[in-house]
Structure 1
């Protein structure tokens, strides 16, 4: 469902999730048997793709592939209905070789920058759901194996009748600013020169603004005095919701916690523009499909 503009990848899905139909097993069965229904195969969380003209595209297949080659021990997910009125599904394929040379399975994170932008919300939703199912096969209430219902959107425990719904992990991600410069950090595993926004999980009982202040203080020793909401981004690695903010801090006297970050540095507005354009002589920022890029871009253009 398309809502007001959001600049981030994995948002503004073109599908109608048709969530009211998930409980209707007869409807789901009929939708799967529809001649126009589409199936997106996955293998170990990797979507099925093909390449054309240097770009990557989702390789949709007919839904009879589910009966022939899907791993029936893993969920069949009803993703929604596309603009043509066709049902869209996703499943896990046990043996990639069964599909021949129609395409290839590729890790989503490196593939995302080259994928069809309007399809990222679809493939991201599917990947996040598969990841959640893989981590929640047993009832959290009594420990009994649970089963998949409602088109892959619920797990039900037949032993204690508990129902478990997919969860997302809220993460605050922020660019601290002071005057005409912003602070970015880098982690040791990152490629040389990469700097990005600060980030951290929001804790129970904590408001977004409080989490921003805590994480900024913990990671960089900077005290936040103002928080400005920017945008959000579903992030399917594994199943987070990134809550992006710009935050003004009291001063530029950072103290980097080296258990959290390897280092950090201030960038002027002009340097931030060079980062966004991938023209900075020493450093670089995350690509445009990451919310950190959009945060930095918004600030640099003010």
Structure 2
């Protein structure tokens, strides 16, 4: 689809500068460049700035927090990429910092509205939940934040070699982990997921998971299994979750989704029947929603249905379906 890369976290064209990841001298020069900047991350939250927290709060590479040893999984910056002028952008984890006041109940909730402000950072900055601000960020800031969250999260969960169990070490400017014990190399994990706009006539199939806000429905989704095509995964997941057979399937758009490490493949599928039989272990409910009802839901005027979260590819696909711009 023509608008595919307008999805949140997509389309900024970041130069990831893979050619300098293994070049120690080039990395040292990039870090010493006065124009280089760093994105601080705290427990998966990027540092944001501004009255509306609508931009990344990038700091200089000489900031004391970068040498304070506050990272949990890694203690050194990760190279995110290089801007057009040549200045590098890094990410650095300070998750071992403990704010004086911390609402543990808000952390990790569906809508985490809490903000954490570090005393050594500017007053107009705060660490905020990426899902809450993702639609307010520029495409470049969104891509940087998603990349930083995903790569630092990968290091936090993959400290040990999957082959022999020994602790591995960071390499390639954060894009690899090496095991000295068995010489195995490990690379960032990305989990492929299909999310599908299943239609029949003028209606779309929607489902909801337990724990979602009341009335919220989204498109069905599921992980692609080994040895499976995207098309087969779409048909299998819809049948497993809702008991609806699907015929023709086509790819629409993709979205990196760093919660924690997925790549969402948006697909369109044609349902061959409308009867729904849900698997209660998979989803809480499923229903067919007409185009008219979905338009009412998007306008915030439907009495029972709330649409998918803004910024998620489900919202993006539904929006394009309503506008007739899927091609």
Q: TM-score, normalised by structure 2?
A: 0.86
Q: CA RMSD in A?
A: 1.8
Contact 1:70 1:92 (8 Å CA) reproduced: no
Aligned match of 1:51: 50
Contact 2:10 2:139 (8 Å CA) reproduced: no
1:163 aligned to which of 182, 185, 190: 185
Cα deviation code 1:96-128 (max 9, x no counterpart): 645244421112122323333431111000100
The alpha-carbon deviation at position 273 of structure 1 amounts to: 2.0
Give 1:222-301 correspondences, 5 Å limit: 222-301=244-323
2:172 aligned to which of 137, 150, 160: 150
Contact 1:198 1:216 (8 Å CA) reproduced: yes
1:124 aligned to which of 124, 146, 151: 146
Aligned match of 1:63: 61
Unpaired segments ≥5 residues, structure 1: none
1:300 and 1:266 map into 2 onto residues whose CA distance is 15
The alpha-carbon deviation at position 202 of structure 1 amounts to: 0.5
1:78 and 1:92 map into 2 onto residues whose CA distance is 12
Aligned match of 1:32: 31
2:44 and 2:276 map into 1 onto residues whose CA distance is 39
Contact 1:69 1:98 (8 Å CA) reproduced: no
Contact 2:39 2:90 (8 Å CA) reproduced: yes
Contact 2:254 2:265 (8 Å CA) reproduced: yes
2:316 and 2:55 map into 1 onto residues whose CA distance is 24
Q: TM-score, normalised by structure 1?
A: 0.93
Please give the secondary structure, in 1, of the residue aligned with 2:156: helix
Range with bigger deviation, 285-294 or 208-217: 285-294
Tell me if 1:215 matches 2:216.
no
How many pairs does the alignment contain? 299
Aligned match of 1:91: 92
Unpaired segments ≥5 residues, structure 2: 100-117
The alpha-carbon deviation at position 51 of structure 1 amounts to: 2.7
Cα deviation code 1:154-209 (max 9, x no counterpart): 00111111110102000000121111111100112100110000001011111111
